[in-house]
Amino acid sequence: MMKPIRVLQWGLGAMGGGMARLMLEKPGIQIVAAVDGRPDYVGKDLGAVLGVGKQLGVTVTNQPEAVLKKENVDIVILATTSWTKEQMPNLRQVIMAGINCISIAEEMSDPEAQNPELAKELDDLAKQHCVSVLGTGVNPGFVLDLLVVTLSGGCHSVERIEASRVNDLSPYGPTVMKTQGVGTTPEAFKAGVADGSIVGHVGFPESIHMISAALGLGVDRIEQSREPIISKVHRETPHVVVEPGMVAGCAHIGIGYRGDKEVIKLVHPQQIHPHLENQDTGDYINIYGKPEIHMAIKPEIAGGIATMGIAVNMIPHVVAASAGLKRMIDLPTPAALMGESAYRRNV
């Protein structure tokens, strides 16, 4: 049997906790350390924090320097924030300890898109310390970028791409409701977009930059728009109530242009309980080229489950990768890690 890959899980929230539980099912992966800042987690056994009904012999710490030892850890999974800039101190610390890293921060899926100087710093630092760093997740990282790129694999030419992800926000917590403007009035939504408190989806510049780079579409400008999805009916989740006339979600569009030509259009309407107005969820990719390709996945690929899955499934590929900052288009395609051969695809 292969030697398990030793993982430090940093961030034990909805995603990080789920990844940790998933890793416990994988014989090729061993969790050797866990970091989180929450006072109610620090000092507890990871098994108790995850609620798996057994001790795991790993104590959660808020002192990453105590556990970032390359003799003991092959890779760190960071599940703490959406923003590259905010994560930089942690990323520097992991890389300078000589340890590989996967981040699910949306902006880390292609940091060159919005933070080219930070992307260069990460790439240089990773090469200097002989480690690899990857940003991934369901979206950005998979549905509206890697899947699009992969589907174009048999095309002779591509004129234009339009892809959309219609999803249900109901399972998410208060932070997501706030950043999507759910439960506000249309006026408050407009004000929130203007002052930056309502952001909609994080990841369009990254996805568009990645698709354009992979195909050579030459996108030189990206524009985004965010409109309120106004509910006609009463909708409710444990965290928010939406009455008719109020905002149930955010219809966010990102467009990549080459000169005046629209070459990539990504559409992501996100709302709570879309079925209450007969809206099905789904992922749709349309490639206009030779040949024309239309793909529909209904319902949507479940976001939380798939984020945990992709981050964990990429672990062996990041450990085996050459040094530097990587995007999903740079590494072997993700596949469920079900047996030994899955761990050895780029060794």
User: Per rule CB under 6 A, is residue 248 in the interface with ligand NAD?
Assistant: no
152 lines the binding site for ligand NAD (CB under 6 A): no
- Tell me, residue by residue from 293 to 322, as one string, x for binding to ligand NAD by CB under 6 A and - for no binding: --------------x---------------
Give the nearest distance from C-beta 246 to ligand NAD in angstroms: 24
What phi and psi, each to the nearest 5 degrees, are found at residue 331? -120, 170
**Per CB under 6 A, 4 contacts ligand NAD:** no
Instruction: Identify which range of 26-34, 133-141, 240-248, 291-299 contacts ligand NAD by CB under 6 A.
Output: 133-141
Smallest distance from ligand NAD to CB 35, Å: 5
Answer for which of 4, 37, 289, 299 binds ligand NAD (CB under 6 A) is 37
| Residue choice 7, 8, 9, 16 for contact with ligand NAD (CB under 6 A) | 16
Closest CA to 94 of 58, 60, 67, 62: 67
CB-based contact 272:171 (threshold 8 Å)? no
Contact residue for ligand NAD among 32, 36, 61, 198 (CB under 6 A): 36
Least distance in angstroms from the C-beta of 37 to ligand NAD: 4
Q: Given the complex with ligand NAD, which of 13 and 186 has the nearer CB atom?
A: 13
- To ligand NAD, the closest distance from the beta carbon of 80 in angstroms equals 4
Q: Find the shortest distance in angstroms from Cβ 323 to ligand NAD.
A: 23
Q: How far is the CB of 176 from ligand NAD (least distance, A)?
A: 8
82 belongs to the binding site for ligand NAD (CB under 6 A): yes
Quote the CA–CA distance of 26 and 337 in Å, as a whole number: 8
Question: Residue-wise over 39-50: b if at least 16 C-beta within 10 A, else e?
Answer: eebeebbbbebb
Measured distance CA(279)–CA(276) in Å, rounded: 7
Give the residue, chosen from 30, 81, 150, 185, that forms a contact with ligand NAD under the rule CB under 6 A: 81
Chosen residue from 8, 11, 193, 319 binding ligand NAD by CB under 6 A? 11
**Amino acid residing at 72:** N
Sign of the CA dihedral with 188 first, then 192, 194, and 199 last: negative
CA 240 to chain centre: 24
Amino acid identity, position 87: Q
Minimum Å distance from CB 73 to ligand NAD? 16
Q: Does 80 interact with ligand NAD (rule: CB under 6 A)?
A: yes
Q: Are 142 and 119 in contact (CB under 8 A)?
A: no
In DSSP notation, 122-169 reads HHHHHHHTT-EEEE--STTTTTTTHHHHHHGGG-SEEEEEEEEEEEE-
| Binding residue (CB under 6 A) for ligand NAD from 4, 14, 52, 265 | 14
Taking the C-alpha atoms of residue 80 and residue 214, their distance in angstroms, rounded to an integer, is: 28
Cα 8 to its chain centre, rounded Å, is: 18
Contact residues: ligand NAD, CB under 6 A = 11-16, 35-38, 79-82, 90, 104, 106, 137-141, 307
